[in-house]
Structure 1
Amino acid sequence: MTGFDHDVVIVGSGFGASVAALRLASKGYGVHVFEAGRRFEDADFAKTSWNLRRYLWAPAIGCFGVQRIHKLPHVMVLAGAGVGGGSLNYANTLYEPGPAFFEDRQWRGLADWEAELAPHYATAKRMLGVVAEYPHSGPVEQIMADAADDLGVGDTFRRAPVGVWFGRPGETVPDPFFGGDGPDRTGCTLCGNCMVGCRVGAKNTLAKNYLALAERLGTTIEPLRTVVEVRERPGGGFDVTTVRSGAWFGRARRTVSAEQVVLGAGTWGTQQLLHRMKDSGALPRLSDALGRLTRTNSEALDGAVAVSVPDGLGLASGVAITTSFHVDERTHVENVRYGPGSNLMGMLATGLVPGGRPLLGRLGALVGGALRHPITTLRLSSLHRWSERGIIALVMQTADNSLTLSLRRRFGRPVLTSAQGEGEPNPSHLPGAHLAAQAIAARMQAAGGVPAAARGSWPEVFGIPLTAHFLGGAVVAGDPEHGVVDPFHRVWGHPGLHVVDGAAVPANPGVNPSLTITAMAERALSYWPRRSAADARPTQEELLAERS
């Protein structure tokens, strides 16, 4: 558009951002994407998680991998980095949430969300190449089914819907999804390293679908550029300032202008940017609800580990997540695996300690167990072939709990911090997760003939849960008193600014949220007009008038 460098600048390239890149390019907009992480070809991913430079994201020390780790007082966050965002290191798992999510009090009065989003879930499934049920069977899948039976919830067991091209293992074929318009694909070899980065080319990352198609339509993607400011221009539009990711010196600060900006930097990135822009006055009308209703998907990462590799079980063979069951109506359990050699995340694991105790009580239980069984404790704690000895249990809930995020100064710099928010207290442990881990451990020991034990995580011992699905904080709401974006994902008070990533998700879905983020973004982008056409969406003033 005349007067701007770009019609639309998109910050980030994860699920929501990638939808925006494709849909806006198809409507005639000039789209430019800034991504803090690097671009990966299949062969660029780490072979195992021990290749820290290619696996971890810590650009200040030269690590430009796919795995981000962030720490807040009340949660430790695992997230993705690179062109394709969280799709590069997620577990390919694409569930739809249950009714509790669509009926959450935060947004239930705005629409019949289950019906409203249904066609967009269908589009998202088609674009992400969802296979409705993981098509392979093995010992892990049987262990999970048996554990569900032991807990009396066998009727809830199911195979996971996954976004993977199975085809013939290792065989490369022309694009099987988009009539030849996408990249060639290679059949899954069940190597287990989906969350380290798929070197085979079987995983349906965003670089294989939305982003590949968007670039064919003219979208430009600039990796290794971190957005540090989005500032409202006096005459309309925005200035977007970036620096070179991870640079100590020579940051190459650069500013471009855009008529509209779409934020899709993931919940952590989007919240951090919005908080800083509110604090600096760059976006002066941002809602005071910013940071409220930040969700962790009420998650825990527990599991089971054997003292040695069980013969014949092949625990590390398969895609990352293959099955799930419900311990109760709001607690969802999935098995998770890493491939052989990818043992780094085992450093987070430790003994399973009873929840509900003070810190000294939890530490005492851990030390007591080690003193009673020192040899077994050492063997369970070993990282040697850890991924081949265990099953991680990823546990999620639809519980109505939240955190509130805000800025505080650390050594003069603004950083995110957290406090307990609305609803139930954000849990530091989940009793249902412990039950599931114990049932899985018992079945693993029976199947493998090797002693096995339920395991927890070090953050959980210290009362800090882990989450791989950080959500909310800039949520959909009917007015700026209760949320940051309107039902069309426009930021209240700044309607040329949009949030389409997990930060807009208003409730805990209780399942992996990637499909929901994609569907919500598909819906939001479906309402955008074609470039230069009239906008049929009601203005924010009209939306507020309807509510009054």
Structure 2
Amino acid sequence: MTAFDHDVVVIGSGFGGSVAALRLSAKGYRVHVYEAGRRFADTDFAKTSWNVRRYLWAPAIGCFGVQRIHRLPHVMILAGAGVGGGSLNYANTLYEPGPAFFADPQWAALGDWHDELAPHYATAKRMLGVVEQYPHSGPVERIMEGAANDLGVGDTFRRAPVGVFFGAPGETVPDPFFGGDGPDRTGCTLCGNCMVGCRVGAKNTLAKNYLALAERLGATIEPLRTVVEVRPRAGGGYEVTTVRSGAWLARDRRTVSAEQVVFAAGTWGTQQLLHRMKDSGALPALPDALGRLTRTNSEALDGAVAVAVPEELELARGVAITTSFHVDERTHVENVRYGPGSNLMGMLATGLVPGDRSLLARLGSLVGGMLRHPVTALRLGSLRRWSERGIIALVMQTADNSLTLSLRRRFGRRVLTSAQGEGDPNPSHLPGAHLAAQAIAARVASASGVHAEARGSWPEVFGIPLTAHFLGGAVVSGSPDQGVVDRYHRVWGYPGLHVVDGAAVPANPGVNPSLTITAMAERAVSLWPRRSGADERPTQEELLARH
């Protein structure tokens, strides 16, 4: 038997990679995880988003935080970094998608996905400690319910399912989830800084469940290592090459061997690596479908901000997302908050502009509003107590739209770019988002007794939506002409390679996708054989013959 350094190398430690690390370790595999970001103790997270070096991810300039920001021609992307991936800075929100997701034509013919994934959603909920309804109520929750009623959709209002330990606030207790096998936990204090990084220890990040348990079973995690190449190895298996994250010099290039490799670097990281490996010739047989059906969850980030609010209104108190409603059958709206002092993301906010007009008209509308009411514009645009003066509206859709990603040369480097893809064009604005933001603004004004307005974002002014849920591009499919991985998440043509993260998600779920990524990963690795056991999955040749 050929000797390998590891049985399985997992690239990334987010919702897909962490599942792979735990479940494959439990099946006897020697698992090694590479994570580009750093490892965080609870007290290592930034106190507020203004602590840029601990909050933002830009390692080339010394920022090793949890918040990645990427830019494509058609979308700006918010993602996560660190051991635990997106769970470190996500909003703890764990919805299951509706029927449209499971019936999407991209994969509907491959199985009854609702029934097949149901037990794995249940496992994912148990592992992530889902509380089915946020248990607290305050002004924001009442404002959201009132906005839903004002829009005539009050029957769709609900409390969000969240992955948070609601023990006695600030009190640390032995692991309450896994019979003492997990780390100690501390009760949520409702500080609101979930997306900056939970310094309390209440947030059910992957470091508190899947990864902690995986390391107990022998999985190894190597942080601050960026994978730059994966290529077949003479005699079988693969070589995986890494460098020190963010290094300009002394990159410390290393190569290890593994029988199998799991790509779980998040949609951006996985797509970028696969595109480069296809382009460089390291993995030349990757399907030409790579990059197609890249999704943004048809998403927008708008909101409402008041010129000032009474401190007792406490709009920033609570976990990051607590409620939601549907503007229409495919448009889902959630409230989002940052805690007091975390005002950095307010730099992206500006006035709401008519998205169906030209860029010149949008800029004219924005400037005109500022000139007509300069004092109000200055007060609304101030970053002072920004997180305490308003509510962000995260809007998601199940609409069938997509981008196609590819590589282009820029400043001597090959970088990802985007074009409109299959289905409808990826939207640059969502009318439903504007309706929701205006309804929320009216309720904020009523609750605070001061002037409040609906707000948009600077990227949206320039026709570039924001998304926190970048998906697809290496999707599940019935053949290599239609996607990148088979129904078992094996890469077509390279069955020893696997994509087990958001890049494999084939459709817009219209809700936060973390639970779905986890459930899809649970299903995929549940079908692996035990180490040295018989593989009962059909070969790719057998799948193609059936298809």
TM-score (norm 2): 1.00
The answer to whether structure 1 residue 335 and structure 2 residue 335 are counterparts is yes
Deviations 1:208-239 (A, max 9, x none): 00000000000000000000000111321100
Question: 3-state DSSP class of the match of 1:230?
Answer: strand
Contact kept? 1:474, 1:503, Cα under 8 Å: yes
Cα pair 1:275 1:407 within 8 Å, conserved: yes
**Is the Cα contact below 8 Å between 1:311 and 1:448 reproduced in 2?**
no
Match of 1:217 in 2: 217
| 1:528 aligns to 2:518 (yes or no) | no
Alpha-carbon distance, 1:284 to partner: 1.8
Q: List structure 1 runs of 4+ shifted beyond 3 angstroms.
A: none
User: 2:273 aligned with 1:268, yes or no?
Assistant: no
3-state SS of paired residue (1:259): strand
Aligned partner of residue 10 in structure 1, secondary structure: strand
CA contact (8 A) 2:94 2:512 kept: yes
2:161 aligned with 1:161, yes or no? Answer: yes
Give unmatched runs, 5+ long, in structure 2.
none
What's 1:29 paired with? 29
Structure-2 residue corresponding to 1:253:
253
- Report which stretch shifted further, 54-63 or 306-315: 306-315
Partner Cα separation in structure 1 for residue 500 and residue 527 of structure 2:
13
Query: Whole-Å Cα distance in 1 between the matches of residues 68 and 459 of structure 2?
Result: 16
Kindly indicate whether the alpha-carbon contact (under 8 Å) linking 1:312 and 1:448 is maintained by their aligned counterparts in 2: no
TM-fit CA distance, 1:309: 2.6
Give secondary structure in 1 for the equivalent of 2:487: coil
Q: In the TM superposition, what is the alpha-carbon distance from 1:313 to its structure 2 partner? A: 1.4
Q: What does residue 409 of structure 2 align with?
A: 409
Q: 1:201-212, aligned counterparts within 5 Å?
A: 201-212=201-212
**Identity rate, percent:** 86
Alignment partner of 1:392 is 2:392: yes
Equivalent positions of 1:414-425 (< 5 A) are 414-425=414-425
The equivalences for 1:128-527 within 5 A come to 128-527=128-527
Report the Cα distance in structure 2 between the residues aligned to 1:481 and 1:488, rounded to whole angstroms.
Answer: 16
C-alpha RMSD of matched pairs (Å): 0.6
SS at match of 2:119: helix
**8 Å CA contact retained: 1:309, 1:385:** no
Segments of 5+ residues of structure 1 without an aligned counterpart are none
* Contact 1:335-1:391 at 8 Å conserved across structures: yes
Contact 1:88 1:195 in 2 (8 A): yes
**What secondary structure does 1:375 align onto?**
helix
SS in 1 for 2:432: helix
Q: Distance in 2 between matches of 1:448 and 1:57?
A: 35
Partner of 1:256, secondary structure, is strand
How far apart are residue 308 of structure 1 and its match? 1.0
Task: Measure, in 2, the Cα distance between the counterparts of 1:236 and 1:481.
Answer: 25
1:357-396 CA distances to partner (integer Å, 9 max, x unpaired)? 0100000000011111110000000000000001000000
Indicate the residue corresponding to 1:82 in structure 2.
82
Q: Note if contact 1:527-1:537 (Cα within 8 Å) is conserved in structure 2.
A: yes
Q: What's the CA shift string for 1:417-456, capped at 9, x where partnerless?
A: 0000000010000000000000000001001101100000
The residue that corresponds to 1:117 in the other structure is 117
Residue identity in the other structure for 2:455: R
SS of residue in 1 equivalent to 2:69:
strand
Look up the match of 2:71.
71
The one-letter code of the counterpart of 2:334 is E
Q: Which stretch of structure 1 is more off in the superposition, 493-502 or 311-320?
A: 311-320
Whether contact under 8 Å (2:59, 2:245) holds in the other structure is yes
3-state SS, counterpart of residue 479 of structure 1:
coil
Residue identity opposite 1:396 in structure 2: M
Amino acid at match of 1:325: F
In 2, the alpha carbon distance for the partners of 1:451 and 1:243 equals: 52
SS in 1 for 2:312: coil
Instruction: Name 2:16's counterpart in structure 1.
Output: 16
Q: For residues 509 and 323 of structure 1, what CA distance do their matches in structure 2 show?
A: 17
1:311 shift after superposition: 4.0
CA distance in 2, matches of 1:541, 1:411: 42
Can you list the C-alpha shifts for 1:139-181, whole angstroms capped at 9, x where unaligned? 0000000000000000000000000001000000000000000
Conservation of the 8 A alpha-carbon contact between 2:285 and 2:493: yes
Cα shift at 1:312? 2.3
Partner amino acid for 1:356? D
Q: Deviation of residue 2 (structure 1)?
A: 4.5
Q: How far 1:310 sits from its partner (Å)? A: 3.0
Q: Answer yes or no: is the 8 Å Cα contact 2:2–2:235 preserved in 1.
A: no
TM-score calculated relative to the size of structure 1: 0.99
SS in 2 for 1:241: strand
Match of 1:459, as an amino acid?
P
Structure 1 letter corresponding to 2:143: I
**Is the partner of 2:422 in helix, strand or coil?**
strand
Cα distance in 2, alignment partners of residues 2 and 426 from structure 1: 47
Give the match's secondary structure for 1:335. strand
In structure 1, C-alpha distance between the alignment counterparts of 2:47 and 2:303, rounded to whole Å: 24
Is the partner of 1:109 in helix, strand or coil? helix
CA–CA distance in structure 1, aligned partners of residues 525 and 395 of structure 2: 31
CA distance in 2, matches of 1:234, 1:251: 25
